[in-house]
Structure 1
Amino acid sequence: MSDTTREPGKRRLVLWRHGQTAWNLERRFQGKTDIPLDETGLRQARDAARLLTGLRPTALLASPLQRAADTARSLAELTGLPIGFDRDLIERDGGEWEGLTSREIRERYPAEHAAWQPPGGETSAQVAKRVGAALERALDDLPPTGLLVVASHGAALRLGMSHLLGLPEETWERLGGLSNCCWSVLAEMRDGGWRLVEHNAGTLPEPVLGDDRTDNGA
């Protein structure tokens, strides 16, 4: 869809982290390892899906890893939307860290832990570029007033969001992580860029009422 046919400032994007897994509880680095949701994660996904239906999503996209795919299915079952899958939405490749607890990573890889760079894994910049490109592709197909929900992973979504917002790499750590089954909401601006309007939310977003500048007023 070309920019000349799109009404600016109307599309929305919901970035939704998957529900809890056993490895989350054990504080193990999951990365691209395909770990399923546990019973709590399945319940979280169902509860979150009931809330997200209130946003009236028009499209649904997910990482094919089962913890994200099953999270997306909870929303698909309520909305009837088909799920698109994009492998570029999978979690950061953790290399030698995958399956290790946070304590094990600190003890075995102190220098790499300090730099947060898993040996044999992806850099933050690589993840941001990969996930950001997947989001951009999906948004290119979104109608002018559409709302896309993307079910993916914590690091993947935070870094992909940073890319989409045009944030410089040195500021990425200022954007906090997403809790299990929480989401962030981005809204399209009139210039075609994106604005973060909700972050790590577990309830439906409320309008911003006050004196701060928005696209609808000064």
Structure 2
Amino acid sequence: MSDARPAREPGRRRLVLWRHGQTAWNVERRFQGKTDIPLDETGIEQARRAARLLAGLRPTALLSSPLRRAADTAQALAEVTGLPVGYDRDLIERDGGAWEGLTSREIRERYPVEHAAWQPPGGETSAQVAKRVGAALERALDDLPPTGQLVVASHGAALRLGMSHLIGLPEEVWERLGGLSNCCWSVITEMRDGGWRLAEHNAGTLPEPVLSDDRPDAGA
């Protein structure tokens, strides 16, 4: 029996990849990973503002990482649009292993070799994250009708790596795709051949740095 998915009906699907709002650990530059940190007050307001803008895209479906910072971001859009929120654990942030809870300075000082390679001890590799998140996005797109518009609320590294996988970028160029700021989004549109094109990246950006678990080279 084949594990291959049936071919999707050609269409004009749109995928909006939305990073969660700010958390206290973002501000403190602590690696969050799969640790379940909530939005801070600024993050809540960012989510509400972004939700008002994203509602104008008329999304037809809403999916989220179950971690609170992403789920609460998604809920802000659900309240504006009336759409239910689905959840997929494969959309959670990169497992940061021994780095979770440490500041960027602590990581550099305690793990200089691993920091240079951006590989957290006991955590996931970039390739593992790209495959996991990319597979979650593919599953969601399989359920999306040809004219569907899906918003996915997730995390900085997870989204950058997942979108790189989805649009077919080779691993050696993943770092050339910059990071996502808090509560900003990227738009992926369907091509006539069934492939995907990056139409917008880090949209909604305010004049603030990217505070993320993502590789520093991929951020601001």
TM-score, reference length from structure 2? 0.90
Alignment partners' CA distance in 2, 1:2 and 1:61: 21
Alignment partners' CA distance in 2, 1:118 and 1:2: 36
Q: Which residue in the other structure is 1:19 paired with?
A: 21
Superposition pairs of residues 166-177 of structure 1, within 5 angstroms:
166-177=168-179
Superposition pairs of residues 100-115 of structure 1, within 5 angstroms:
100-115=102-117
Alignment partners' CA distance in 1, 2:94 and 2:55: 28
Alignment partners' CA distance in 2, 1:67 and 1:37: 5
Q: How many equivalent pairs are there?
A: 201
Aligned pair partner of 1:31 in 30, 33, 36: 33
Off by >4 Å, runs of 4+ in structure 1: none
Q: Residue deviations 1:127-186, cap 9 Å, x none? A: 000000000000000000000000000000000000001110000000000000000000
Q: Which residue in the other structure is 2:10 paired with?
A: 7
1:87 Cα offset (Å): 0.2
Q: Which residue in the other structure is 1:152 paired with?
A: 154
Q: Residue deviations 1:52-87, cap 9 Å, x none? A: 000000000000000000000000001110100000
Q: Which residue in the other structure is 2:95 paired with?
A: 93
Q: Which residue in the other structure is 1:198 paired with?
A: 200
Alignment partners' CA distance in 1, 2:60 and 2:6: 19
Q: Which residue in the other structure is 1:211 paired with?
A: none
RMSD: 1.1
Alignment partners' CA distance in 1, 2:81 and 2:65: 18
Give the match's secondary structure for 2:120.
coil
- Specify the code of the residue in structure 2 equivalent to 1:7: P
Overall identity of the aligned pairs, in %: 86
- Specify the code of the residue in structure 2 equivalent to 1:28: R
Q: Mind listing any 5+ residue stretches in structure 1 that lack a counterpart?
A: 204-218
Q: Which residue in the other structure is 1:49 paired with?
A: 51
Alignment partners' CA distance in 2, 1:37 and 1:108: 28
Aligned pair partner of 1:70 in 65, 72, 79: 72
Which of structures 1 and 2 has the bigger CA Rg?
A: 1
1:2 Cα offset (Å): 4.7
